[in-house]
């Protein structure tokens, strides 16, 4: 056996194992797209975003904050965010949550209003409660980046 194959063999074995277990991937998909699938994938998730916007537009707790927002961009970025969060094949291309919401002085009541509106939208779209809960659980940690913290004026 040629001498170099002594160190080549473990390398070949290691890369074969990596390929077999699917560890090597150029795709942004994490592998767990179960929630994204349960939400109906891209078409249904886009319809959910539309429903959420329709529910929020007349809501006085939320609407004034969006007065100067370009809604076409919001619709797209909010979709991307939910898609990525649920394990879908998207990469969120918007700005970081803390940066986007800084300066808007969003309080806990407004955050809860958005969660409530999303729940209404999900119910209207016919999602079962466990699916709703799973999406909401993934959104909950963003509260600290979005709601203005006591002692912090922005």
Interface residues toward ligand HEM, by CB under 6 A: 62, 65-66, 69, 73-74, 77-78, 81, 94-95, 100-101, 104, 106, 110-111, 114, 139, 142, 146
Token pair 């006591």 in the structure block, residue: 150
Q: From residue 140, give the alpha-carbon distance in Å to each of 14, 15, 58, 114, 146.
A: 39, 39, 23, 11, 10
Would you say 45 or 146 has its CB closer to ligand HEM?
A: 146
Tell me how far, at minimum, the Cβ of 17 lies from ligand HEM, in Å: 38
* Structure tokens, 142: 């963003």
Tell me how far, at minimum, the Cβ of 4 lies from ligand HEM, in Å: 51
Tell me how far, at minimum, the Cβ of 122 lies from ligand HEM, in Å: 13
* Structure tokens, 58: 């007349």
Would you say 10 or 141 has its CB closer to ligand HEM?
A: 141
Beta carbons within 10 angstroms of residue 65's beta carbon: 16
Would you say 31 or 96 has its CB closer to ligand HEM?
A: 96
Tell me how far, at minimum, the Cβ of 76 lies from ligand HEM, in Å: 8
> Strand (E) positions, the chain?
none
Would you say 29 or 139 has its CB closer to ligand HEM?
A: 139
Would you say 65 or 132 has its CB closer to ligand HEM?
A: 65
Tell me how far, at minimum, the Cβ of 127 lies from ligand HEM, in Å: 17
Any residues with CB less than 8 A from the CB of 132 and at least 6 apart, and which? 119, 122, 123
Token pair 């080549």 in the structure block, residue: 8
* Structure tokens, 41: 């994938």
Token pair 């994938």 in the structure block, residue: 41
């Amino acid at each position: 056996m040629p001498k170099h194959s002594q160190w080549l063999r473990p390398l070949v074995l290691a890369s074969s194992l990596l390929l077999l277990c699917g560890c090597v991937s150029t795709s942004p998909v994490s592998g767990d797209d179960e929630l994204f699938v349960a939400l109906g994938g891209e078409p249904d998730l886009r319809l959910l975003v539309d429903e959420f916007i329709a529910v929020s537009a007349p809501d006085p707790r939320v609407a004034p904050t969006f007065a100067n927002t370009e809604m076409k961009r919001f619709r797209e970025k909010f979709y991307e965010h939910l898609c990525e969060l649920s394990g879908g094949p998207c990469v969120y291309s918007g700005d970081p949550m803390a940066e986007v919401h800084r300066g808007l002085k969003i309080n806990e009541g407004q955050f809860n209003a958005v969660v409530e509106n999303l729940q209404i939208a999900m119910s209207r779209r016919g999602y079962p409660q466990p699916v709703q809960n799973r999406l909401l659980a993934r959104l909950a940690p963003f509260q600290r980046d979005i709601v203005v913290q006591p002692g912090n004026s922005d």
